Amino acid sequence: MKIIRRIRIGEADLFKQMRLTSLRDAPYAFSSTYDSALRRSAESWREQADSTAQGNDRATFIAFSDDVPIGIAALYRLVGQADVGEVLQVWVAPEHRGTSVAWDLMDAVFEWAGENNFHTIIATVTDGNARAVKFYTKYGFSIISEALLPGSDGISLAKEVK
């Protein structure tokens, strides 16, 4: 059975496991590296996980299949833009790619975004990650001509929250 839920306070180890697994599996898809993630302190993992487990500025969602974590996606409100968020850390385990897991994670992100007064969601895809661009455009994101996120590399896409 598959479920998607928001990460909970105290699940820093789960968050760390998912991030390390995703960085190891798909290093081309993220601006962070596996090596830099390994150097993080336990406190930094806890702070990041717990900050996305509560409140209305950040949320991390985990997909599970029979209690095994198989996907992750997060949404962070942009500083200074109260109604704009960035979706990031999106990853699905290889054996679940091509199923509905990524779509279901995006549904959870957008449902939460709608409940928390987001108007626009931005995604930045690293150069060369055509599969991600295809997914986001199929989900309804549009490629935007100007980068809305300072210092971002790759392709920026945006979608309104309805």
List the alpha helices (DSSP H) in 30-124: 34-38, 42-51, 101-115
User: Could you report the per-residue pLDDT of 28-83, keeping only the tens digit for each?
Assistant: 999 899 999 999 999 999 999 999 999 999 999 999 999 999 999 999 999 999 99
Kindly state the percentage of the chain with pLDDT values over 70. Answer: 94
Bridging pattern class, strands 155-160 and 2-6:
unpaired
For residue 128, name the pLDDT band (cuts at 50, 70, 90): confident
CA distance 151 to 149: 6
CA 10 to chain centre: 19
34 phi/psi in degrees, rounded to 5:
-60, -45
Q: Is the pLDDT of residue 146 over 80?
A: no
pLDDT at 98: 92
For residue 157, name the pLDDT band (cuts at 50, 70, 90): very high
pTM: 0.93
pLDDT at 145: 59
CATH of 2-160, one of 3.40.630.30, 3.30.70.20, 3.40.50.720, 1.10.10.10: 3.40.630.30
pLDDT at 88: 95
Q: Is the pLDDT of residue 151 over 70?
A: no
Give the residue-averaged pLDDT of 17-35.
94
